[in-house]
Amino acid sequence: MRRAGCALGLLLLVLGISGTAAVWLVASALGIVSTGTVARVLSAGGLLLGVLALVAAVAATRRLAAPAERLVEASRQIEAGDLSARVPVRGPAELRSLARAFNAMSSRLEATEARRRSVVAEVAHELRSPLSIIRGQAEAIADGVYPGDPVRMTPILAAVHTLEVLVDDLATLGLAEAGSLRLRREPVETSDLVQDTLVAHRAAAEASGVALLADVPPDLPPIDADPARLHNVLANLVSNALRHTPPGGTVRVEARPASDSRGVELRVVDDGEGIPPELLAHVLERFVKGENSPGSGLGLAIVRDVVEAHGGSVEVASVAGQGTRVTLRFPPDATE
């Protein structure tokens, strides 16, 4: 704005000088005033300078107007719902910066809309199976095909539980995305956390024929975390590992000091089927799962969001056919 104001002031000054020169030349030609050769040359030069300044001003205005018009038109496209609108990066430095910012904004909007549509489609898909089970069983009981006994009610209750888990997972993801995931922090003893998780999954491990082990040194500092959410994170990883480990395999929960000896690392390691390479790079994203996985594909995304809300990070390493290792790292400021 300062440069534009200075340019406008300079243009007005030049046009003023040019206008004065033009008046002198006309008056000299009509004999109204008497001027010498030098005055006439200066007047002609001033007039020429004014013409050149006017031409330059018109060219500069057109140079600014064209990119601005493209930005306005692209903005109207965005308003109309066409999120693919982009503008050429041309013109002065300020307009080039504005064009780059506009293109980045429209790219983010387009990516967000694509993710939104994908999430809606995936949620609809995940809801369809349990709802079909509930409807089929309920209609059969209502029509008298099946008696309303515990055997026939069990699939309905299992489907309702699946819906409850999905709704809870979606609520957690929504809060994490909005930055509103509330954490009720308190010191959590690492050994207690691991042992409680193993006790909760011991029966499932025995039923699957999988050994469930723990490796936790006694001198680890407590983690300053939300105990309920941290228990859910570790339970999610252990249940996922049990699901993908064949009979005779092992799932091990480890805890170690972080590399700087101040933070804490939790690891869930299995020797199961592993993760295919093409899936590994996206395994922490929402609704990403293997072809035969019975889950919703939200578990690891929730683990990532909850751990990152605590200031930590998640790393997944896997070799297909050899097993998977999921590492949760909590920084020093998350431990006491």
Q: Which among 177, 211, 235 is the end of a domain?
A: 177
Q: Is residue 139 part of a domain?
A: yes
For tokens 């609809």, the residue is 124
Q: Is residue 78 part of a domain?
A: yes
Q: What is the pLDDT of residue 238?
A: 93
Q: What is the pLDDT of residue 270?
A: 94
* Residue range of the domain that includes 151: 110-177
- Quick one: 51 and 135 in the same domain? no
The total number of structural domains in the chain stands at 3
Q: Is residue 305 part of a domain?
A: yes
Q: What is the CATH number of the domain that holds 278?
A: 3.30.565.10
Q: What is the pLDDT of residue 62?
A: 58
The answer for residues whose C-beta is within 8 angstroms of residue 70's C-beta and 6 or more apart is 87, 88
DSSP reduced 3-state for 216: coil
Q: What is the pLDDT of residue 288?
A: 74
For residue 272, the cross-strand partners are none
Q: From CA 105, how far away is CA 103, in angstroms rounded?
A: 5
- Quick count: other Cβ atoms within 10 Å of Cβ 103? 16
For tokens 């205005």, the residue is 61
For tokens 């590399």, the residue is 259
Give me the residues of the chain with pLDDT under 50, please: 5, 33, 38, 334-336
Average pLDDT, the chain: 79
- Quick one: 149 and 223 in the same domain? no
Q: From CA 123, how far away is CA 113, in angstroms rounded?
A: 15
Closest CA to 334 of 179, 188, 225: 225
- Quick one: 202 and 131 in the same domain? no
- Quick one: 21 and 156 in the same domain? no
Q: From CA 178, how far away is CA 174, in angstroms rounded?
A: 6
Closest CA to 324 of 332, 333, 314: 314
Burial group, residue 3, by CB count within 10 angstroms (0-12, 13-18, 19+): exposed
Q: What is the pLDDT of residue 336?
A: 45
- Quick one: 251 and 292 in the same domain? yes
Q: What is the pLDDT of residue 335?
A: 46
The answer for residues whose C-beta is within 8 angstroms of residue 92's C-beta and 6 or more apart is 63, 64
- Quick one: 147 and 247 in the same domain? no
- Quick one: 216 and 310 in the same domain? yes
Q: What is the pLDDT of residue 193?
A: 92
Percent of the chain whose predicted confidence (pLDDT) is above 90:
19
List, in sequence order, the alpha helices (H) in the chain. 2-29, 37-79, 93-142, 150-177, 190-208, 227-243, 277-280, 299-309
Q: What is the pLDDT of residue 60?
A: 60
